[in-house]
Amino acid sequence: MLNAHQVLHGYANGIFPMAEPDEDNAIYWYEPELRGVLLPSEFKCPKNLKREYKKGKFQYIINKDFEGTMRACAMREETWISEEIIEVYCGLKEMGYGFSFEVWDGNVLIGGLYGVAMGKVFFGESMFHAITNASKLALVFLMEWMVQLDFKLLDCQFITTHLKQFGAKEIPQSEYLKMLKNSL
């Protein structure tokens, strides 16, 4: 059975857990050879997205509905977010390590992301959107928070086209471990 302390220890050592949907949600630890990262100093926000963020049409709230954000992230055909993962990460939130960056339209959660903060690193886990750009707006919100608190590194785990447009890149695991050590 996975617990919060194991997750924190894993993150501190460059590995992270994921449930395998094809194997009764068994949890495995991952250490990719190439790691997806986004440095706050290299964050690129498209002008149209920055305008949308600043319009004030939506509300940006941290941890209003952490579990709801996780469950929304898990609502896809295949997910690594099992009930056990949800339980452990909700525990991390209660311990002060788990954070969800949420986008609300009135009383409706329309986008967000969640992860774990340790030292000056945010370990991003997953994001979702119910309307266009809502997950991107959550990322802008997260990056604003990271800059305000002088965070050094957003661990994206795996790189995606979606994240590349914001300046995310892949680096070798050995380089990642050095960055991680310096940021914790």
How many structural domains comprise the chain?
1
Measuring CA to CA, which residue among 88, 128, 112 is closest to residue 7?
Answer: 88
Residue 39 to residues 68, 84, 123, 163, 172, Cα–Cα distance (Å): 27, 30, 12, 12, 15
Residues 6+ apart with CB under 8 A from 81: 19, 70, 73, 74, 125, 126
Question: What does the pLDDT average to over 154-174?
Answer: 94
Q: What is the pLDDT of residue 25?
A: 77
pTM here? 0.95
Write b or e for each residue in 15-41: b if 16 or more Cβ atoms lie within 10 A of its Cβ, otherwise e.
ebbbbeeeeeeebeeeebeebbbbbbe
Question: Within 13 Å, how many C-alpha atoms sit on residue 102's CB side?
Answer: 22
| Token couple for 6 | 């194991």
What is the mean pLDDT of the segment spanning 32-52? 96
pLDDT on residue 42: 96
> Contact, 2 vs 85, CB < 8 A?
yes
Task: Please provide the distance, in angstroms rounded to a whole number, between the alpha carbons at the two ends of the chain.
Answer: 26
Say if residues 14 and 180 touch (Cβ distance below 8 Å): yes
Does residue 75 register a pLDDT over 90? yes
Q: 162 is in which domain, residue-wise?
A: 4-183
Evaluate if residue 1 carries a pLDDT over 90: no
CATH of the domain at 174: 3.40.630.70
The reported pLDDT for the residue numbered 63 is 98
14: tokens are: 């460059």
